[in-house]
Amino acid sequence: MSVDAADRTREQQCPDEALRVNVWASPAFWWRVAIVLVVLWGLVAGERRLAYFTTQSNVIVFAYFAGALYWMARRGTAAAPAPVLRGGVTTWILTTMVVSHVLLNHFENPIPGLFVADPTDELANRAIFAMHYVVPLMVLVDWVAFGPHRVVRWRDAAWWLVYPAAYGLVFLWRALALPEVPDRFPYPFLDTDALGPFGSLLEMLRVVAYIAVLGLVVMALDRLAWWVGERLRRARRRAEASA
């Protein structure tokens, strides 16, 4: 077996061992600290309602990355735990950004809202911006820039649809069974009064289909990041061998 093949086998079987480092000097550790701090600020800087996917996905990001920091510190590794879950967390928080920007705000530029005259509105807008844009992009950078890569299988992406589909079904049932509940329709595509139960179900399935495509994009970025990293490692080894 070649040296490259042996390294790849070791990374795939024991990614945390392959990436064992001084965690306190690891860029991955401090980037994840920044994710935890930004998402925490976004959650506490305004009133958040758990009915919204935005709030739920940001809470999940906070819980996952806080747990990842503990894992990294205990094991002395730059590798994040639970790669399949990590891919799901990445897909879900990107769903928050895409649904907000495309389906709800119709590509409206959010930047002007960050500089309004009223300090209260400005704080609220900046917190929402952090939850809708900053946190998703930071999590995406983490997914692409830091390993382990090529550990999650393509078919694992199917599991990433379970939570969004369950969210939609629970809130469809909630809207029909509890007509007086607050935040009855957290999103327009769940509005059974306007669309009817069948129409809302179809709209929800359409959103889940979009999330499936997004999950495949997340998986493709993982493979691309591995491919680029592999080429860089080979180039470095060749340079060392010829030195």
Q: Are 219 and 154 in contact (CB under 8 A)?
A: yes
Give pLDDT tens digits for 108-130: 999 999 999 999 999 999 999 99
pLDDT at 4 over 80: no
Distance from C-alpha of 53 to C-alpha of 187, rounded to nearest angstrom: 9
- Residue 77's DSSP bridge partners are 20
Helices (H), the chain: 3-13, 15-18, 27-44, 53-75, 83-98, 119-129, 135-145, 162-177, 192-242
Give pLDDT tens digits for 211-234: 999 999 999 999 999 999 999 888
Mention every residue, 6+ apart, whose C-beta is less than 8 A from residue 38.
Answer: 130, 134, 135, 138
Give pLDDT tens digits for 157-197: 999 999 999 999 999 999 999 999 988 999 999 999 999 99
Structure confidence at residue 240 (pLDDT):
82
Q: What are phi and psi of 110, to 5 degrees?
A: -85, -10
The rounded mean pLDDT for the chain is 90
